[in-house]
Each structure stands twice: as structure tokens, then as C-alpha cells.
Structure 1
Amino acid sequence: MKVSHVSEADHDIVTAAVAAAEKHTNGEIVTVIAGQSNDYDDVALVWASVIAFIAMSVVALFPEFYRNLYDQITGGWGHEITANEWLGTVIAIGVLKWIGVWLILLWRPLRLALTPRAIKAGRVRARAIDLFKVGTEAKTMGRTGILLYLSLREHRADIVADEAIAAKVAPEVWGDAMAALIEQVRAGRPGEGMAEAVKQMGVVLAEHFPRGSENPNELPDRLIEL
């Protein structure tokens, strides 16, 4: 069963915004919304490895503390730990720490929270480009397709434009549209945010690619959910 990230009302708002924007331009706007762009499994592995390394380093740097702790636990009746046993203990602690952290980070919200913002932004951008290549790039006669992509859990969005648009419109021009979108998403109104971004994108597209006498609707207006 497919999980819906937004309401039917949000779908209607975004679809209507795309249709309205495209009345004034030959540009073709595609809107896509996803719950999350990446699982960040590699981030969990890095965190687990870093914590395990730190734990092993601490034990290795302060051996007397842990030897005294061992004596307290055994009441002084334990045998003298050999160098090999001590090495094995350090490795065992590292392995247990690694497994423990990895199990904790199976909880995706925590894994996402511990992922640096730059990594999240890069993964969202990469996903947007992949989707653009599959569904938007070179799908219009004038190479005037443009993708608006929103990834909800990362609170990140991106715009990827086809060749003709990219040649005339610098990426920073879409800054206002992105700001309006993210502001609404943080307020819990993703549909309204995407609609406002589409409206502002339409203004820019109408300036550089005004509607011609023949303007077939080459790409879907509906909001696509992943």
C-alpha cells in the first residue's frame, strides 16, 4: 500500500498552480514530492565506526582505570590480565560499541538527525538530478522542462532545469521560490509551499520563455509522489 505524503487538497493546489503557470510560458513544470531521498546507511556505519574507535582509544589510553575497575568487579580475586587478554578486551569493547550504535541508528529519525546538513543537501540534489534525467530532461521539443523536487524529512528542495532554461536562468534566480517553499514546509503546509514556488517559477519562465502560438502540454501537471 502506497503511503501518501500530502493530502488530496495539496495535490489539487499544486496541479492548479502548475496549470496556471504554464498558461503564460512554453516552460513545462514537473513537481515531485518524496518522503526521504536517501536511507543514509553509510552515515550509520561511519558513526558506529567512530564511536567504536573512540571507545577503544579511551580504554587503551587509560588502562589503569579499567584494570582497577576489573579488580573492583572481581573483588581482587581475578587473575592478572595478560597483554593478549587485554588486547582482546579492547577489541571486544570496540565491537560491542559498534554493534550497539549501529542498532540504535536503525531508528531512521535519529540517523537522519545525525546526518550533516551538507550530506543531506547533496543527497537531495543527487536524487533530484536522477529524477530529472528520467522524467524531464529532453522530454520537450524546446528543452524547456524544469523539475521542482521536495524531500520532506530532509526539509530540502531543489530545482533542476533542462538545457534551454539553464542557459538563460542562473540557479540563484530560483532562490526566492526555494525560500518560499521551505518556509511553508516547516510550517506544515507542503502543498501551499510547492504551489507558491511554482507560481514564482512561472513568473521567471514567462519572462524568458513566453507562451507561443503552439504550446502543447508535454509533461504532466499533476503532483507526483514517491
Structure 2
Amino acid sequence: MSDQADFLTPADEEAIIDAIKQAEKNTSGEIRVHIENITEKPPLERAQEVFHVLGMDATIARNGVLFYVGVQSRAFAIIGDEGIDKAVEADFWDCTKDVVLGHFKEQRFKHGLVEGILRAGERLKQYFPYADDDKNELPDTISRG
């Protein structure tokens, strides 16, 4: 992996954004992906900072999920807001992280993120089903640092 410019192709990014939209169709949960080159901090700590900067802690049901990737640092983390963490089983994020990292080890970055996003969406659907008055509180785009 060199840097974030080479990490995903434009087609890969579209597939990831499509996965976010698909995952959010059946839930009020909000999923974001953030990619940056380097972090000097532990991945979870940096992901928590990004979570806050992106306003993900301001959703009504506190049900945002962030997939954080530090490309050159080879850093990865998934975090959920407090509403989700109270609902899902304790090892859910670790299991999802393992799925994503399994693909990453094979240089299949798009596949890893798409599978992780769809898995998170399935779980969110169980605990935060879509309601007619739901609105998309956060953009579905990939943010960059």
C-alpha cells in the first residue's frame, strides 16, 4: 500500500458508497468510511477523534458506525456510537474487523470494506430498523484526512 490515492480506484469507491446506501436502506443507523494516509495515534483513538470531527456522535439514536483506515500506517478500526454498543454483542466489532482484515491481507480492500459495511448494516437493521420518518443524517460519501 502506498497512499490513499492508490488505495481504492474510483470504481472501488463507488462500490463502497453503494454498499453504504444499501446497508442504510433498512436501518436508521449511519455508516461512514474515513481514509487517511498516516496516523501517529493508535487506530481506535484516531477513529474516535474522526468520529467526533465528522459529527457522527450527533445522530438522534446515537447509532453511527465508522470504518477508519490509515493506509500508510496500516491502521484499521471500526467503532460504533453508544446506542449501538449498548445493543450489539460484545465481540461484534471484533468479528466484523476480522472479516475486513481478512480481505485486506489479500490486498482486497474494496471487498473487505463492502463486506464489513453490509455486515454492520444487517446488525443495525436488527436493533435500529428503518422507520418512515428516518432521514439520512450523515453523508454516504467517503471522507478523507
| TM-score (norm: length of structure 2) | 0.87
Match of 1:166 in 2: 85
Identity of aligned residues (%): 27
Cα deviations across residues 44-96 of structure 1 (Å, max 9, x unaligned)? xxxxxxxxxxxxxxxxxxxxxxxxxxxxxxxxxxxxxxxxxxxxxxxxxxxxx
Matched, 1:12 2:11: no
User: Counterpart of 1:207 in 2: which secondary structure?
Assistant: helix
List runs of 5+ in structure 1 lacking aligned partners.
39-121
Aligned equivalent of 1:202, options 103, 118, 121: 121
User: Counterpart of 1:138 in 2: which secondary structure?
Assistant: helix
* Paired letter, 1:161: G
Question: How far has the Cα of 1:3 moved from its partner?
Answer: 5.8
Q: CA RMSD in A?
A: 1.9
* Paired letter, 2:18: A
CA distance in 1, matches of 2:34, 2:82: 19
Q: Please say if residues 139 and 219 of structure 1, whose CA atoms lie closer than 8 Å, have aligned partners that are also in contact.
A: no
Question: How far has the Cα of 1:37 moved from its partner?
Answer: 1.6
Q: 1:113-192 alignment to 2 at 5 Å?
A: 123-192=42-111
- Gap change, CA 1:225 and 1:189, over 3 Å in 2: farther
Question: How far has the Cα of 1:171 moved from its partner?
Answer: 4.3
Q: Please say if residues 177 and 197 of structure 1, whose CA atoms lie closer than 8 Å, have aligned partners that are also in contact.
A: yes
Q: 1:19-168 alignment to 2 at 5 Å?
A: 19-38=21-40, 123-168=42-87
Q: Please say if residues 16 and 110 of structure 2, whose CA atoms lie closer than 8 Å, have aligned partners that are also in contact.
A: yes
List runs of 5+ in structure 2 lacking aligned partners.
none
How many residues are matched? 142
- Gap change, CA 1:147 and 1:171, over 3 Å in 2: farther
* Paired letter, 1:146: V
CA distance in 2, matches of 1:136, 1:194: 21
Match of 1:86 in 2: none
CA distance in 1, matches of 2:96, 2:71: 16
Question: How far has the Cα of 1:17 moved from its partner?
Answer: 0.3
Q: Please say if residues 79 and 93 of structure 2, whose CA atoms lie closer than 8 Å, have aligned partners that are also in contact.
A: no
The higher radius of gyration belongs to 1
Match of 1:215 in 2: 134
CA distance in 2, matches of 1:223, 1:164: 23
- Gap change, CA 1:32 and 1:171, over 3 Å in 2: farther
* Paired letter, 1:155: R
User: Counterpart of 2:57 in 1: which secondary structure?
Assistant: coil
User: Counterpart of 2:103 in 1: which secondary structure?
Assistant: helix
CA distance in 2, matches of 1:166, 1:133: 16
Q: Please say if residues 28 and 144 of structure 1, whose CA atoms lie closer than 8 Å, have aligned partners that are also in contact.
A: yes
| Greater strand share, structure number | 2
